[in-house]
Amino acid sequence: MWLLLDEHVVQLWTPRIKALDDRYKAVTVDDDGQALDQFHGLPGPDLWWWRRHPRMLTGDLGSSLRSVGATGTAPDTA
């Protein structure tokens, strides 16, 4: 989508999106999509956010991800 926007809009939004990306990276773990790929096919390598899972593994999602080798923090140790 960035290719469709004019330069002013890109300059305006880039710092905001970078801040959101940084927050996302802080609460997720990069495992190159190995855990998530067990449940659905991953898109191309340019979509880095698809290769991350939550750092805190809780509930059904946490159990499912741990069952395929994902590592993270249990809620009682966070």
Per-residue pLDDT tens over the stretch 19-66: 999 999 999 999 888 898 888 888 877 888 888 999 999 999 999 999
Secondary structure percentages of the chain, helix, strand, coil, to 5: 55, 10, 35
* Contact between residue 50 and residue 42 where contact means Cβ atoms under 8 Å apart: yes
What's residue 76's pLDDT? 62
Identity of the amino acid at 46: D
When comparing pLDDT for 27 and 72, which is higher? 27
What's residue 78's pLDDT? 52
In this structure, the number of other CB atoms found within 10 A of the CB of residue 70 comes to: 19
- Confidence band, pLDDT 50/70/90 cuts, at residue 18: very high
The pLDDT of 12-24, averaged and rounded, is: 95
